[in-house]
Structure 1
Amino acid sequence: MKLRFFGSSLVSSYWNGAATYYRGLLKALAAHGVDVVFYEPDAYQRQQFRDIADPPWARVVVYPATAAGWQQALDEAARDADLLVKASGVGVFDRELEIAVPHAVRSGAHCAYWDVDAPATLDTVAGDPDNHLRDAVPRYDLVFTYGGGDPVVEAYDKLGARACVPIYNAVDPETHHPVPARDEWRCDLGFLGNRLPDREARVDEFFLDAAARAPQKSFLLGGSGWDDKPVPANVRRLGHVGTADHNAFFCSSVATLNINRASMARYGFSPPTRIFEAAGAGACLITDRWDGIADFLEPDREILVVDSGAEVAAVLERLDPARAHQIGAAGRARVLSAHTYAHRARQVLDRLGTPGFGREAAE
């Protein structure tokens, strides 16, 4: 199968939280013989902040972030694609691509919309009766999503999607695994995430409030955009942390905090990549509460669940390194047994192998 995929970036995680999702999933699909070509725009300085070279399992096409650039890239991609994919959040000319892709597919081929931020997308569409996706979504043969469970599937059904299949984040054991801690990054609690509008208030609530309540503990904040954010004195800011350093980040703290963005927490069943990456590295995970956690990791044994910054501070007060190691080891065992990208790739291929996987399969 020839898969032609339009996404934000495969080679750079700079302002691109979906990078490791793309890498893990497409690498696993390529292992099954899928011919992958990834199309990404030259935008947001991502090419200047690459984390990886072009991988051996995919051809990467970087096209100019112009009207002519995306059109030429789409013409090339559609020429031989068996499955033509437009991911959400490419970053430039998203609307134009989302409208154009279903019309560009050659006879006998299929197209899919791959939503890597379904809760935010659906909230945007719900608040805009003229949103282009209302007309575009029914034209795609299939919608894949980063997650979201039944609430996201039901919302896409209401938009007229022919079929909607959540393909959750996972771990690539070759990429995320335990490594020695870095002395300069040792801390009691680390959080890794870019500063985004629907995340910042929850970072204030769960991370910075916890730091203010536990001045004797040390906190490490990684991710882009936090440079001018006021923080307590016991919080150190790292700025952008490339994927090559993620394992060391997770392995240098007693615990790692996951904070779902507001929309993801509201829909539930949307574990971000950081959950699986940190678990793969053997980190002791603390997460804000959201529906569906137990489908991925068992609370109190493989992950700790909190409802506020005050609870985060209380957890840190009683969490010793031995207990943290025990939780991290249990979480790592769980994701390796059930939540690798090899598991997710099999789900994708099984769905694509369903006869008439578009509207006919849904009816």
Structure 2
Amino acid sequence: MRPLDIVFIGLSLSSSWGNGHATTFRGLMRGLAAAGHRLTFLERDMPWYAANRDLPEPDFCSLIYYETVAALHEELDETIKRADAVVIGSYVPEGVAVIDLVTAMATGPVAFYDIDTPVTLARMAAGERDYLAPGQIPLFDVYLSFTGGPTLERLERHFGAHRAAPLYCAVDAGRYRPTGEPIRWDLGYLGTYSPDRQPTLEALLIEPARRLPWRRFVVAGPQYPEDIDWPENVERIAHLPPAEHPSFFSRQRFTLNVTRADMIAAGWSPSVRLFEAAACGTPIVSDRWRGLSDFFPVGTAILTADGPDTVVQILTGTGEAERTAIAAAARARVLARHTGTVRAGELEAELRAAIARRAAHPPPGRVAAG
């Protein structure tokens, strides 16, 4: 089969500061590039990301910045029209206008890649229409979702998606692997501050740190308020670029996964940090949510905790043989099922199927429904 010309329009590829989109797109697109596809990423030139670019010139795609929706139309219309398929991500600035523009211009199928599906549905239920409107969902040939399970049926039955399919986050196995560095912290956490995650972080890391003052803990990520009372044995790292993630995970005895409330409610919403940590050979302690065991069998490839007592027991009562066995089971599962190469194959299959459906049943023309 001939390679595809795929255009992505996403929140950011160039900067991983304060978002999980960049690393998701990077791993996926590296996998597609390795398969020979021609890739273009269109990114709105936003000041915050422009000042914090950690991948300004990717070697696996053409990265083009645009200033406005009008510029997207005037300067990049041929790029969009020539593409075999276009993939629009969630949280694109002025996304509703971008979707209306692209679905009207594109000659090939258009997919929506929702990296925030539970958040997206909650925002639409609250009447927010910043990057997707409910009436636009039927415009897409396929709705690709970070969340699986019952949410996919909801997208088709209640929102009119022609096809809803999971395209979970993934890890770049070439970059995330054990580094062999000595252990520095007993428990760590990597994540941007989020008010709905903070109570769980307090219960599963900060309180255990208070109870185990002779143990070492670490929290990495930006935007944490200055008034948080960090125990003295909790090290803070304000920002950790992706290149430093493998070292960070490899130096932890255990790492903590904390899930946002909307994603817990939806279930089947794994965080990319789960896959990154597992690929680095670090055993994970996670909060509980429906579908977790579909990704990592609980007790053999991941440990769960409901409160500080469980975390303290894990840190003080887990032997080294058990700890390394859990880490090995998780790493094997990720390398087999959750790499950028695997996701690239899944995306390619979805796009080729959409192209075939269009060839068999040419659409009469899209009508903007923003």
Q: TM-score normalised to the size of structure 2?
A: 0.88
Separation (CA, whole Å) in 1 of partners of 2:251 and 2:65: 35
Q: d(CA) in 2 for partners of 1:358 and 1:203?
A: 50
Tell me the equivalent position of 1:314.
313
Structure 1 counterpart of 2:347 = 348
* 3-state SS of paired residue (2:15): coil
For residue 32 of structure 2, the aligned residue among 13, 23, 29 is 29
Please name the residue that 1:201 is paired with: 199
Report the more deviating stretch, 300-309 or 95-104.
95-104
Give the corresponding residue for 2:238. 239
1:201-251 CA deviation, whole Å, 9 max, x = no partner? 332333223323333322100011125133222211101100010001101
Query: Deviation of residue 128 (structure 1)?
Result: 2.2
More off after superposition, 164-173 vs 207-216: 207-216
What is the identity, as a one-letter code, of the residue corresponding to 1:54? E
Give the residue type in structure 2 aligned to 1:237. R
Structure 2 CA distance, aligned partners of 1:25 and 1:201? 32
Distance 1:194 1:44 in 2: 19
Q: What is aligned with 1:327?
A: 326
Matched-pair identity in %: 33
Residue 117 of structure 1 corresponds to: 116
In the TM superposition, residue 72 of structure 1 has moved relative to its aligned partner by 3.9
2:216 matched to which residue of 1?
Answer: 218
Residue in 1 aligned with 2:16?
Answer: 13
Q: What is the alpha-carbon distance in structure 2 between the residues aligned to residue 233 and residue 69 of structure 1?
A: 50
Structure 1 residue 67: Cα displacement? 4.4
**Does residue 133 in structure 1 map to residue 112 in structure 2?**
no
* 1:278-302 superposed Cα distances (whole Å, 9 cap, x missing partner): 1111111111111112211121111
Cα 1:340–1:129 shift into 2, 3 Å: closer
By relative contact order (CA 8 Å, sep 6+), the higher-ranking structure is 2
Counterpart of 1:332, as a letter, is R
User: Aligned partners of 1:350, 1:180: CA distance in 2, in Å?
Assistant: 36
Cα deviations across residues 90-141 of structure 1 (Å, max 9, x unaligned)? 3x222321332212213xx111111000010011112329785211111111
Whole-Å separation in 2 of the counterparts to 1:195 and 1:358: 46
Distance 1:129 1:342 in 2: 34
Aligned counterparts of 2:240 and 2:155: Cα–Cα separation in 1: 34
The separation in 1 between residues aligned to 2:48 and 2:307, in whole angstroms, is: 35
* Counterpart residue type for residue 194 of structure 2: L
Partner SS state of residue 45, structure 1: helix
Equivalent position amino acid for 1:9 in 2: S
CA–CA distance in 2 between the matches of 1:358 and 1:327?
A: 47
Matching residue of 1:47: 50
**Distance 1:74-1:87 versus aligned 2 partners, 3 A rule:** farther
- Corresponding letter in the other structure for 1:163: R
C-alpha displacement at 1:159, in angstroms?
A: 0.7
CA-to-aligned-CA distance 1:300-357 (integer Å, 9 cap, x gap)? 1111111223322221121344432222122112211222222222222222232317
The one-letter code sitting in structure 2 at the alignment partner of 1:100 is L
- C-alpha displacement at 1:73, in angstroms? 5.5
Which residue of 2 is the match for residue 288 of structure 1? 287
- Deviation (angstroms), 1:13: 0.8
CA 99–312 in structure 1, closer or farther in 2 if over 3 Å, else same: farther
Whole-Å separation in 1 of the counterparts to 2:155 and 2:47? 30
SS in 2 for 1:197: coil
Cα distance in 2 for partners of 1:263, 1:212 equals 29
Residue in structure 2 matched with residue 264 of structure 1 by the alignment: 263
TM-aligned CA deviation for residue 273 of structure 1: 0.5
CA contact (8 A) 1:226 1:237 kept: no
Tell me the CA shift for residue 359 of structure 1: 11
User: In the superposition, relative to structure 1, how do residues 201 and 357 fare at CA in structure 2: closer, same or farther (>3 Å)?
Assistant: farther
- Kept in 1, the 8 Å contact 2:85–2:351? The answer is no
1:93 equivalent in structure 2: 94
Q: Count the aligned residue pairs.
A: 354
Local SS of the residue matching 2:48: coil
Match of residue 278 from structure 1: 277
Contact 1:98–1:133 (Cα < 8 Å) also in 2:
no
- Rounded Cα–Cα distance in structure 2 between residues aligned with 1:202 and 1:69: 43
Report the secondary structure of 2:149's partner residue. helix
Conserved? CA contact 1:213–1:310, under 8 Å = no
TM-score (norm 1): 0.90
SS of equivalent to 2:6: strand
Deviation per CA, 1:144-193: give whole Å up to 9, x if none: 112x212220221111111111111222211101113367xx11101000
2:82 aligned partner: 80
CA distance in 1, matches of 2:267, 2:141: 25
Which of 60, 63, 75 pairs up with 1:60?
63
Q: In structure 1, list runs of 5 or more residues that go unmatched.
A: none
1:74 Cα deviation from its structure 2 partner? 5.0
Residue 345 of structure 2 aligns to which amino acid in structure 1? R
Deviation string for 1:15-42 (max 9, x for gaps)? 1212221111111112222211001122
